[in-house]
Amino acid sequence: MDKQQNQWEAMVSGQWFMPGTPETTSEQVRGFKLAKQLNDLGNTDPEKARGIIAKLIHPDSGSTMIHTPLNIEFGTNLRCGERVFINFNAAILAQAPITLGDDVMIGPNCSLITVGHPVADHQMRREGWEQAKPISIGENTWLGANVTVLPGVSIGKQCVIGAGTLVTRDIPDNSLVLGSPGKVVRTLDK
């Protein structure tokens, strides 16, 4: 395996990696170009948008509606189930896989962030090292406006994540989550 392949594999598998290799950059630029095409439509041509979205996200994704503007890196790592809705101003950093189950709704101004930088190792941070961890959001879960989901978080099925919540840890099925950091405030009826 060549160095670029190793960096791609390291990126998507949760290892420390150095961004900016030719392979990662080419996929990043491909996604930026598609996101620009989608954003340039200004939500005026749903049929054309569906075609662009199909090229932008993981090929095994179901029907996905996105209201622009959208900011996304590595859209090929975003796998959406059926009837997924992503509202205005989403920021999706998909250096690691992001999986959205069927009927997931993402509110306006939400951020799904799979990548971070070293905290304790100042030299690695200075050199630009990154590490990505996957995000998973279960079916029929709704993220209200301005929710941020951090690397490595799994949110269960049938959850409601209240507006402005910062999700830093895994959330069980059927949870109502509020706050920063987000806390389960009650279990929802099944």
Contacts of 177 (CB under 8 A, 6+ apart): 159, 160, 161, 162, 165, 167, 171, 183, 184, 185
Q: What does R_g of the chain's alpha carbons equal in angstroms? A: 17
Strand order in the sheet with 105-106: 64-66, 84-86, 105-106, 142-143, 160-161, 175-178, 183-187
Is 58 noted as a catalytic residue in this protein?
A: no
**SS3 (DSSP) at 53:** helix
Q: Catalytic positions, please?
A: 117
